[in-house]
Amino acid sequence: MAGKRKVKSASQPCPCTIKNFVVTCEHGRKSDSVQVLQVVATPTESRSDEYVFGPDSAQVVVETGVDYGGDDKVKAKLTAGGGCRRKIRFSGGEFSSGKWKGGSSRSETLKTEPFCLQQLDDSSLSLVRVSPVSYTVEASTSSGRESITVEQYPSDKLSYGVKVDGLGYLAKKFNDAWETWGETAFGWSPVTIKPKINAPVGSLKAEQCWKEDDKNWTALHEFAVEAGLDPLLGIEVEVDLSLAVCAGAAVGVPPPVSKFVGKHLADILVGVGLGVNCKMLGSVTKVTRTTLVTGASSAGGATYKGQVTLSFEGHFLIHLTARVGSDYIVSVSARGQGKVTIANDNELKIEAAKLSFQPSVKLKPIVLSVTVKARAFVVFSKSKKKAWKLWKKDVNIWTGGEREIIDFAKLR
């Protein structure tokens, strides 16, 4: 009809509808469709402590440290229809009374409260179970409103370490002292005892912290352990009985003379040996990711990278050695030996801040071996060895309950 104006449909969309609303951290990560962004600041402060046990020549050093502080810079950006007045505000935490601001973007700096200071007030707090500080970022136009949650995790990186290299000095002093004293103590005996101690060498380190996942909006907790203790501890004892000395004693020949004759003419040695060696090697990282449960974040499943093994190996051996001739002219010796080894290889577990393992004992195949050596005028030497295993595979003979090695949460 002429003169009538066309009326717009009421169903026509409002031009002020929110088209896009996103929150970005300073590292370029963005909130996802779940409308959540988890952030972790880069630490800017650090402190460390060192505790030394023992004298200078035989020290055990325990080190603890923490990196903390830093700020999270967060930017919110809103895209809406043309001509619409847009507002963005932060609320929660220190921004609970924040005012609305006009415009399409807003940046804020979120201060980080050091977790290590919170632990001083409450020692029961655990970094892996910490609740993040939550902020709400709201965007509003005349036709709609949306919100995104920013969850801020502590920036603290806790580290612990134990160095035991100094204990090797004590072991060497003991071994050297026994070698000197033993020659005198057993010089008039047909029995020779040879003990040996292998002291711990190396270190054990651990770190834990929260980190941003650079592939998505989530944060994750890492607990890493690195072990390099080889050996962790070792003790060996070998006892030899000289038949030449026993025979000499029967006819009145002094033991020192019998030993000299046995070494340069002929002798038969009967011996037994006992030993145990332990070592801890490898590195493992436990990663715990956060998940969303009814709109709030919580600790999710854990995954492990790498492996740390705590190994024990004990052995018992019996040997018989026959030798004839002189090492300075011509000599031949034959040694037959049977060795029984009991050992285990245990993978260490990380639960919360505790390092533990489950022991299991295995009997390794019994090994029988024969070694023949020949020497002539010091310039010629030849050796040949043959070994047999009575069975091929290890036999599991015992599995025990879980054993805790150390609780790092108690080291502050």
Looking at 157, 186, 209, which one is the last position of a domain?
Answer: 157
Residues 373, 228 within the same domain: yes
Residues 273, 344 within the same domain: yes
Identify the burial level of 406 via C-beta atoms within 10 angstroms of its C-beta, where 0-12 means exposed, 13-18 middle and 19 or more buried.
Answer: middle
Number of domains in the chain: 2
Residues 284, 307 within the same domain: yes
Q: Is the peptide bond before 132 cis (omega within 30 degrees of 0)?
A: no
Within a domain: residue 207?
no
Quote the CA–CA distance of 71 and 114 in Å, as a whole number: 11
CATH of the domain at 106: 2.60.40.10
Average pLDDT, the chain: 84
Angle CA 206–204–114, to nearest 5: 25
pLDDT in tens, 91-122: 877 666 667 777 888 888 998 889 998 888 88
Within a domain: residue 402?
yes
pLDDT in tens, 181-217: 877 777 778 888 889 888 888 899 999 999 999 888 9
Most confident of the ranges 45-59, 149-163, 334-348 = 149-163
pLDDT in tens, 239-281: 999 998 888 878 778 888 888 888 788 899 999 999 999 888 8
Within a domain: residue 12?
no
Residues 225, 374 within the same domain: yes
CB atoms closer than 10 angstroms to residue 131: 11
Within a domain: residue 317?
yes
Reported as a pLDDT band with limits 50, 70 and 90, residue 24 is very high
Residues 324, 180 within the same domain: yes
pLDDT of residue 317: 93
pLDDT of residue 374: 93
Quote the CA–CA distance of 145 and 373 in Å, as a whole number: 90
Q: Is the pLDDT of residue 66 over 90?
A: yes
Residues 170, 147 within the same domain: no
CA Rg, the chain, in Å? 36
Full residue range of the structural domain in which residue 26 is found = 18-157
Within a domain: residue 195?
yes
pLDDT of residue 192: 86
Residues 241, 382 within the same domain: yes
Residues 390, 302 within the same domain: yes
Residues 254, 341 within the same domain: yes
Residues 189, 135 within the same domain: no
Within a domain: residue 10?
no
Torsion-angle region of 69 (φ positive above 0: left; ψ -120 to 50: alpha; else: beta):
left
Sheet of 354-357: strand order equals 349-351, 354-357, 403-407
Residues 233, 332 within the same domain: yes
pLDDT of residue 401: 83
Residues 86, 123 within the same domain: yes
Task: Give the pLDDT mean for 347-368.
Answer: 83
Identify the burial level of 99 via C-beta atoms within 10 angstroms of its C-beta, where 0-12 means exposed, 13-18 middle and 19 or more buried.
Answer: exposed
Within a domain: residue 8?
no
pLDDT of residue 411: 59
Q: What is the pTM (predicted TM-score) of this model?
A: 0.71
CB contact set of 206 (below 8 Å; sequence gap of 6+): 159, 160, 161, 223, 224, 225, 226, 355, 408
pLDDT of residue 333: 93
